[in-house]
Amino acid sequence: MMRNLWKNPYAWAGAFVFTVVAIAWFGRDLFEPVVAGSEVPAFSAANLQGDTVHLSDYRGQVVLLNIWATWCPPCIEEMPSMQRLYETIEDQDFEVVAVSVDAREGEEDPSGNVGGDVAAFVDEHGLTFDILHDPSGSIQRIFQTTGVPESFVIGRDGVIYQKVTGPAEWDSPQNVAMMRRLLER
């Protein structure tokens, strides 16, 4: 009886559907979208000195988390405004953290983009905020990004208050006011 059951294609289809539903049900917390109002996911990457930095190290601070690459023209376009924002908000509880998803220098990522010299880019553009390097691009999977640049404004409580896809003028009066409001909380 049981042997004949598995010869039936409907039994296989039923078992498949049951498995998919079970995986979705028990893993539903893994599929939460990363949007405004959600808790910031755990992530770590190396800084330019090679030390591992965890996003949780910034807990209690307001953070502008930016995901970028040296080969991305819109990323390059918005970097000066992030530097100006960083200089404008002179508060020890405010950080700009930019995570480069460049492949290792000279290597290609899965999309065929050649990794640039992140340290040279930082020096060339006079960036003084925290720069991390994630050549595996795992931050893009964890934060469910669709490309670069993408940015997340994170409050002191570790909650994402805003997600921005594409470049932004980070030192605009509206963005400066938003950061200051978050710092006042």
- Kindly state whether residues 75 and 43 are assigned to the same domain: yes
- For 126-154, what is the mean pLDDT? 97
Binned at pLDDT 50, 70 and 90, residue 137 comes out as: very high
Q: For residue 27, which amino acid is it? A: G
- Determine what percent of the chain is predicted with pLDDT higher than 90: 77
Provide the pLDDT for residue 35: 86
Q: Are residue 72 and residue 27 in the same domain, yes or no?
A: no
Instruction: Note whether 71 and 3 are same-domain residues.
Output: no
What is the domain count for the chain?
Answer: 2
Q: Can you give the pTM of this predicted structure?
A: 0.83
Contact status, residue 154 vs residue 65, Cβ threshold 8 Å:
yes
**Whether 102 contacts 71, CB under 8 Å:** yes
Task: Looking at the structure, tell me whether residues 167 and 156 fall in a common domain.
Answer: yes
Whether residues 26 and 86 fall in one domain? no
Q: Which two tokens stand for residue 78?
A: 């918005």
What residues contact 83, with CB distance under 8 A and at least 6 apart?
96, 125, 126, 127, 128, 129
On the question of pLDDT at 36 being above 80, the answer is yes
Looking at the structure, tell me whether residues 9 and 98 fall in a common domain: no
Percent of the chain clearing pLDDT 70 (strictly above): 83
The verdict on 22 and 71 lying in the same domain is: no
What are the CA-CA distances from residue 15 to residues 6, 11, 25, 39, 144 (Å)?
10, 6, 15, 35, 30
Residues 13 and 97 placed together within one structural domain of the fold: no
- pLDDT-based confidence at 40, cuts 50/70/90? very high
> What pLDDT shows up at residue 12?
58
Q: Are residues 106 and 133 in the same domain?
A: yes
Q: Are residues 160 and 132 in the same domain?
A: yes
Same domain, 69 and 159: yes
Of 141, 136, 138, 101, the C-alpha closest to 121 is 101
Whether residue 24 has pLDDT greater than 70 = no
pLDDT value for 67: 98
Check which CATH number belongs to the domain holding 46 and give it: 3.40.30.10
Whole-number pLDDT of residue 6:
57
Q: What is the pLDDT of residue 185?
A: 84
What does the pLDDT look like over 41-93, one tens digit per residue?
A: 999 999 999 999 999 999 999 999 999 999 999 999 999 999 999 999 988 99
Q: How far apart are CA 102 and CA 137, in angstroms?
A: 8
Structural domain range at position 81: 34-184
Both 70 and 127 in one domain: the answer is yes
